[in-house]
Amino acid sequence: MFSSALRRLLPVAFVALGCSVNFTFAQASQTGAGSRPPATQMPAPKPHQPEPPPPPVTRASILRGAYGPYRANNDLLSYHLDIRVDPIKEIISGKNTIRFRMLADGTRIQLDLNDALKIDKILLGTTELKYVRDSGAVFVDFPETLKAGQEYSIDFYYSGSPVQTGRFGGFTFGKDPSGHAWIYTACEGIGASIWWPNKDQWRDEVKNMQISVSIPNGLVDVSNGRFMGKTDLGDGYTRWDWFVHYPINNYDVSLNIGNYQHFSDRLGHLSMDFYALPEDLDKAKKQFSQAKGMLEAYQHYFGEYPFKKDGYKLIEVPYSGMEHQSAVTYGNHFANGYLERDWTGVGISPRFDFIIIHESGHEWFGNSITAADSSDMWIHEGWTTYLESLYVEYMYGHDDAVKYLNGYRSKVKNEEPIIAPRGINREPPQDQYFKGALFINTLRSVVNDDARWWKLLHDFYQHFKYQNIMTEDVVQYFNEQTGMNLTPIFDQYLRHTAIPTLELKFDDSKGTVFYRWKVDEPAFQMPVRVGKKDGWQIIHATTDWQTMSTSLKKDEFDVATDLYFVNVTKE
C-alpha cells in the first residue's frame, strides 16, 4: 500500500497494477533503475514532518477491523468452501460450511460477505437461520442459545458476481493470451469476504480447510493445500478438491483457474509443484528452479518449511504475485529483479527473482506467523523484507546483504508510524517494508553477537509458528531472550515517525566529542558503533549528553549507519 502522499502522485493506471508487495511498476521504475526521482515526485524524508490526516473511519471499517462481541464469542475450527465457478456467466455459487466452537453462550455470531453477493440461505442442520446484513458484515441469529464449549456447523449458501476491486483485483474473471479462461483471486486488504463468506478478520483462523472448486472440464484449479483429487460431475464440470492441513488466514485462501501445465520437483521430503501456461512452460522450468535455493536458505535460518503436508506450490498469474499459503502466485515476467528492474538499485536484485524470494518468505512470516490485526502487518512485511536480505546473506555473504538492505534506505519515508491504529482494518504505511527490515537489521547490531542473533531468529520463529501475534508479543520475546530492555527501541522505530538521530558535538582542540540520541522515547538507549570502520568503538548513547575522547577530527569520525538505521548530525 502507498501512503496517501505517494498515492496522489502516481498515475491511476499504475496504481491498478497490484502485487502483494504493494509497489507499482511506476515506483519500481522511479527508484529501481538507479536514477533519482525528481524532488517534486518523491520528496526526501522529513523526520519530524506531521503525519497526514488519517483516512476516514467508517462503519464498514470498524465492523471489518474490530474483534467485536459476535466474533469474540466463538473460535473457528474449519471451513469447507465448495463453489462452482462459471466463466461464461462470470458468476460463482455454492456454500461455505463453517465449524466453530462457542466460547460464551450466545444467539448471534458475526460473519462477513461483500454486499455484491447474494445470500441464498444459511442453515444450522435443516433449520434456516435469520440474518442481518450491515456494511459488509452478516450477523447470523440462532433460534436457541448456542452453548459455550459446544461445537456447531452452519452451511452458508451464496451466489453472484464478485466485484473486481482492491489493490490486487479481489476476484478476476480474465483470459490468458490464448483466449482460455484465467480466473484468480488476490484479496489481501480488501478482504476474503469479497468472494466468499467467512469470519473476515486476522485474529482467529480455522485449524484446517477444505476447498472444492467446480469448473468446466479441461481447466485446472490450483488452490491452497494438498490436491486430493478431481471428480467429473457429468454436466461438463469437474470438481477439484484441495485440503489445507494447517491454520490459514482468510486472505491467503485462493483459487487459480486456467489452462495450466504442471511440473514437479522435490526438496528432500518436501513436494514442490509448479503451474504455468503452456507457452511459458520452458521459461517457468528455468526460473522456478530458484525456489529450491530459497527454501534451503529460509530453512537454514528458521527451520522446516511450515506447510510440509500441503507441499510448496508456485503458480503463474498475470499480476506480480501474492503469498497465498502453500500456493504462492507468481507474475514477475520469468525474469530476475522485480518487474525486470534492479529493485534496490545496488546491483544485487538482478541476481534473483524478487517475487519468488519475497512472496515465499511469507510462508514463514505472514502465513505461519500471522499478525492478529492488520495494524501490525510489519510482522508480515518488515520481516519478509528482512528475509530477502537473509537470502542474499545465505547465497552471497554478509557484505552483499548489508548492501542490499541499505539499498532500501531511499524508499523510507518516515511520514507515519509503522504500526497503524488498531481495530479499524487499517493497514500500515509502506515503511512497514523497508524501514521494518532496516530496523530488524539494527536489532542485529544491538545484539552484536551473530551466533546469538541466529539462534534468536530461529527460536523466535519456532516459538510463534502457526500463531497470530501482535507487536507486544515480539517485543516481550526479544526482551526475555536477550535480557535487554529493547522496548524503547522497538517503540521508537515502530510507533513514531522519526528514526533516532545521533547528535555529535566536537571539540577538536580538546579531542572530545559529546553525543546523545535525539528521539521521541525518553527511555531510549542504544549502543552504536562509531569512530573508524576498521576499528569501531561501541558507545552506549542515551538521551543525555555524554562525552568521549577521540583522536579523530569531526570529518574523520564515522558512524556505522549501514548497520544501524539512524541519522547523524555533527557540529
Least separation in angstroms between CB 434 and Zn ion: 12
Instruction: Answer for the pair 307, 327: CB distance below 8 angstroms, yes or no.
Output: no
Q: Which is nearer to Zn ion, 74 or 375 (CB)?
A: 375
Question: What residues are paired with 138 via a beta bridge?
Answer: 111, 133
- Pick out residues in 509-538 that bind Zn ion (CB under 5 A): none
Q: Which single residue is written with the C-alpha cell 511459458?
A: 280
- Residue 257's DSSP bridge partners are 183, 221
Binding residues for Zn ion restricted to 98-137, rule: CB under 5 A: none
Shortest distance, position 362 Cβ to Zn ion, whole Å: 6
Q: Are 515 and 542 in contact (CB under 8 A)?
A: no
Q: Would you say 21 or 563 has its CB closer to Zn ion?
A: 21
| Binders of Zn ion in range 265-284 (CB under 5 A) | none
Per-residue contact flags (x/-) with Zn ion for residues 7 to 46, judged by CB under 5 A? --------------x-------------------------
Stretch that binds Zn ion, among 297-305, 374-382, 405-413, 497-505 (CB under 5 A): 374-382
**Touching Zn ion, residues 378-397 (CB under 5 A):** 381, 384
Instruction: Report the run of H or E that residue 175 belongs to, with start and end.
Output: strand 170-175
Site size with Zn ion, rule: CB under 5 A: 3
Phi, psi of 169 (to 5 degrees): 105, -25
Amino acid at 402: V
Strand-pair category, 468-469 with 370-371 = parallel
DSSP letters, 275-287, are EE-GGGHHHHHHH
Give CA separation, 20 vs 101, 388, 394, 406, in Å: 32, 15, 24, 22
Comparison of 21 and 390: residue with beta carbon closer to Zn ion: 21
In the complex, what is the shortest distance from the CB of residue 382 to Zn ion, in angstroms, rounded to a whole number?
Answer: 10
Q: Closest approach of Cβ 452 to Zn ion, in Å?
A: 27
Kindly report the backbone phi and psi dihedral angles of residue 235, in degrees, each rounded to the nearest multiple of 5, phi listed first. -120, 25
Residue number, 252 or 381, with CB nearest to Zn ion: 381
> In whole angstroms, how close is the CB of 19 to Zn ion at the nearest point?
9
Nearer Cβ to Zn ion (167/516): 167
Min CB(366)–Zn ion separation in Å:
7
Binding mask 399-418 for Zn ion (x = CB under 5 A): --------------------
Q: Which of residues 226-265 bind Zn ion (CB under 5 A)?
A: none
Are 379 and 371 in contact by the 8 Å Cβ rule? The answer is yes
Nearer to Zn ion, 316 or 381 (CB): 381
| Cα angle value 150/155/157 (rounded, 5°) | 155
Residue 225 · residue 245 · CB < 8 Å: yes
Tell me how far the alpha carbon of residue 196 is from its chain's centroid: 21
Compose the 201-230 pattern: x for residues touching Zn ion by CB under 5 A, - for all others: ------------------------------
Report the nearest approach of Zn ion to the CB of residue 321 (Å): 9
**Shortest approach of Zn ion to residue 358 CB, angstroms?**
6
Closest CA to 265 of 311, 299, 219: 311
CB of 21 to Zn ion, least distance (A): 5
Task: Considering the complex, state which of residue 367 and residue 384 has its C-beta at the smaller distance from Zn ion.
Answer: 384
Smaller CB distance to Zn ion: residue 287 or 384?
Answer: 384
**Nearer to Zn ion by C-beta: 305 or 354?**
354
Residue 245: other Cβ atoms inside 10 A: 15
Strands, DSSP E only, in 269-381? Answer: 270-276, 312-316, 321-322, 328-330, 370-371
Per CB under 5 A, which of residues 422..451 are in contact with Zn ion?
Answer: none
CB 44 within 8 A of CB 175: no
| Site for Zn ion, rule CB under 5 A | 21, 381, 384
